[in-house]
Chain A
């Protein structure tokens, strides 16, 4: 018996020589006009009662294709009809991820080149004899421009043995690749909604994805009927997930409870691109009614939306003129116009142009700062700002302080503005230029919310677009003055400056206070009732600080004391934000959700010191550099690194498993990536004991790969 086993092992490992046919797998190959077909299996011998994988391998003539389970607008899926010994069962075909073929405008879903259709075979425990004979009649439609139905009678005879032995490495590699090519169960929940006009939209709650690393998103519906076969789908990828507007299919039946299919996307990783596929079952959500606009999506339309963004920015800039902070400047400008009223038209024009230049230069500088910050910080998830309680609190403070200013509690004559005012007070073109600069500086406090909105958009754009959007906004701000200086007609319509301006300004303080109140309400939504205490307490401190700075004269001896106390009060007010940050962090982690980040279960946290220490101790070390937004990383973990077999093998080999979380661009990890010439994750390192350096594994892992790495380690040890 032992000799027989040894022989089997030898056979499985080595090339197949002329042997008695009952002891090796024997498969018939059928070559049709367009397809070479054969049955293969991932075992060289079968054990009764132990399931294994078999597969129909199709090697398709170049440029021709066979079909997926849903063939699309024409075509037919490949079928396998099994003839099996009593008690042996064959599962359904486990389909690989399909590709799309456009045949003169007709969309097909299928496969080209070399494909393996997996089928799980389960032999009964009481199976007897020396061989298990699997017979199948397979038929398929193979198409290029024309379609040809073909069929083949195939056979696979596998020796029966006391233990199942794996197939030869080449065959195993085929199965490994095939399994990797099967869509993974979606790690994210999905739902779908139907718009008022009856069109469905699929929503996959893949939170925290980065739109710029994902492209070619496509949903292959699992069956004909509910959803149309579309040549193009305009998916939008945001931090909230993926939305794909779909077209209703031709089936007249009502939409199903669950919409099933395969979601395919291509992710840009640190080392190229990876196509990923997920099986999706989206429940119909009656509360989710997609709007018509979502049909357009946002991906792939940057050019046009930039034009729109510029228009909106211009409009936003115009609106800034109505913002209360700009009032002091408005007063200055109005006064200047009144002064210039009798002067030559040319001078007026020059004045207007200089003012515009001042505004634009300031906005340009701001754009430069934004671009610089982005370049140094990397990707900025601007959306996060809007959900941060700290941001809410700061905006509430800002509204409050601006309100106090409008009420006349204090004047904006700080050093920064003061310098501007000094320069602005100069007559002539220089004066006008610096009035423009001043306008931007004093306008910034109240415009921050507006600016944030525009910046939020601009930040998702390349640098030139960012600059363009901000300049458009500046132009909007300067436009009324520019228009006034250019057209004498309009100048005559200007109301005379006077006491009404002061009254209007004081009145405008109240909407500001109201805004602050509303902001605090938003804050409580984010943090709970405690937020009110911190926010209102902080406001009292700020008011107190302002009062301190205003009482007495600068000459009084206590001036430094007052300034010190005021600074302390303001610091305390801002310290409240730290308190909120902590609170919100715990709130976020308890709320959980799939986006809550990288899982460290079974792994140690990576640090360079820990890696060096383990390597020095002669232990095998595996390092997984990952990030919460990296889909390929997640898939690798599910299909290769954290499978039960891999976990067991890691444990048996005594591997130190380190995981580095690069979600927030950890500097230590960035340094390691750079050293290895990588721009990002995934990156997998495997240090064999005594090896001079780590082996870099491919960025798409299979379980087979991990197991064979670990097996080679075991062998080396013996």
Chain B
């Protein structure tokens, strides 16, 4: 009797296998421990940055949207700027990626981006202009701020939130575990990252509506 089942099931499975078409995965990010997705982008000063050119350096990517309350939490409290400075002092290349699509909240032009950097006292190596959300898509970013660390050999070693308390309240920052700072220290010390994948939190990344 069971061979009848086999016949029937294989009929079904055959159908199913053929029907298995990959569904466009919006938020399927790259794997940890694998080479980070390459990208080339122009920054707010017109300079072109390519991940391939940064081999040998540790790179941080921060998705940003200056109007997002969670981004504001970390800028108004100076948490983000402080970490950017610490990173720069250790030779880490910190790239803020303004990935909001044109017409969406957080989209900035080059002068606006420079003005924000100045007024907020930010210190990233560069603010990348990503109006087509290409970098965000390549990295599967879902929120702002969504944080990534790439080690000197170009391997993705951290992805997730900036810290451990998902709230919009700046008073939580001192109580939170600063995941990115801890992970950077581990990477620079040549150690594996203990918490390499954490829950990202924040506003949804503003991908263009028509694009997705």
Interface residues of A (CB under 8 A from B): 73-76, 103-108, 139, 141, 143, 145-149, 224-225, 228-229, 231-232, 250-252, 293-298, 301, 304-309, 311-312, 386, 391-392, 395, 449-450, 452-454, 456-457, 519, 522
Contact = CB atoms under 8 A, between A and B. Distances in A.
B202 A74 contact: yes
A73 B12 contact: no
Given A74-B201, A449-B4, A450-B7, A141 B16 contact: no
B7 A104 contact: no
> What is the interface of chain A mostly: helix, strand, loop, or mixed?
mixed
A294 B9 CA distance: 11
B197 A293 contact: no
Nearest to A523: B1
A312 B14 contact: yes
Contacts of B199: 224-225, 250-251
Given A106-B27, A232-B23, A251-B197, A147 B69 contact: yes
Interface in B173-212: 195-197, 199-209, 212
Contact of B168 (A104, A141, A251): A141
B20 A74 contact: no
Interface residues of B, number: 50
Contacts of A76: 166-168, 201
Given A231-B26, A232-B23, A295-B20, A106 B142 contact: yes
Most chain B beta carbons < 10 A, residue from A106, A107, A148, A312: A106
A298 B16 contact: yes
Nearest to A519: B1
A555 B133 CA distance: 93
Contacts of B147: none
Contacts of B68: 146-147
A225 B199 CA distance: 7
B15 interface: yes
B204 A147 contact: yes
Nearest to A303: B19
> What is the interface of chain B mostly: helix, strand, loop, or mixed?
loop
Contacts of B104: 104, 145
Contacts of B202: 74
A602 to B, nearest CB: 39
Contacts of B159: 250
B29 interface: yes
A305 B208 contact: no
A308 B204 contact: no
A449 B200 CA distance: 55
B207 A293 contact: no
B79 to A, nearest CB: 17
A312 B204 contact: no
A309 B143 contact: no
A148 to B, nearest CB: 7
B105 interface: yes
Given A105-B207, A453-B4, A453-B11, A250 B18 contact: no
B2 interface: yes
Contacts of A307: 15, 18
A308 B14 contact: yes
Interface string B57-89: 000000000011100000000000000000000
A297 B15 contact: no
B19 A73 contact: no
Given A225-B199, A251-B197, 16 more contacts: A74-B201, A76-B168, A105-B26, A106-B26, A145-B206, A146-B68, A149-B69, A252-B197, A298-B12, A305-B18, A308-B14, A311-B14, A312-B11, A312-B14, A454-B11, A522-B2
B17 interface: yes
A279 B25 CA distance: 27
A449 B19 CA distance: 26
Contacts of A308: 11, 14-15, 18-19
B27 A105 contact: yes
Interface string B23-62: 1001101001000000000000000000000000000000
A386 B4 contact: yes
A143 B17 CA distance: 39
Nearest to B23: A232
Contacts of B4: 386, 449, 452-453
Contacts of A74: 142-143, 200-205
B160 A147 contact: no
Nearest to B101: A104
B197 to A, nearest CB: 5
B187 to A, nearest CB: 16
Contacts of B204: 73-75, 103-104, 106, 108, 143, 147
Most chain A beta carbons < 10 A, residue from B18, B27, B68, B202: B27
A404 B60 CA distance: 79
Interface string B148-186: 000000000001100000111100000000000000000
A145 B166 CA distance: 19
A294 B15 CA distance: 11
A418 B98 CA distance: 83
Nearest to B17: A293
A309 B1 contact: no
A301 B23 CA distance: 13
Nearest to B106: A146
A296 B203 contact: no
B13 interface: yes
B15 A301 contact: yes
Contacts of B212: 104-105
A452 B11 CA distance: 12
B90 interface: no
A305 B15 contact: yes
A609 B160 CA distance: 67
Contacts of A252: 32, 195-197
Contacts of A304: 15, 18-19
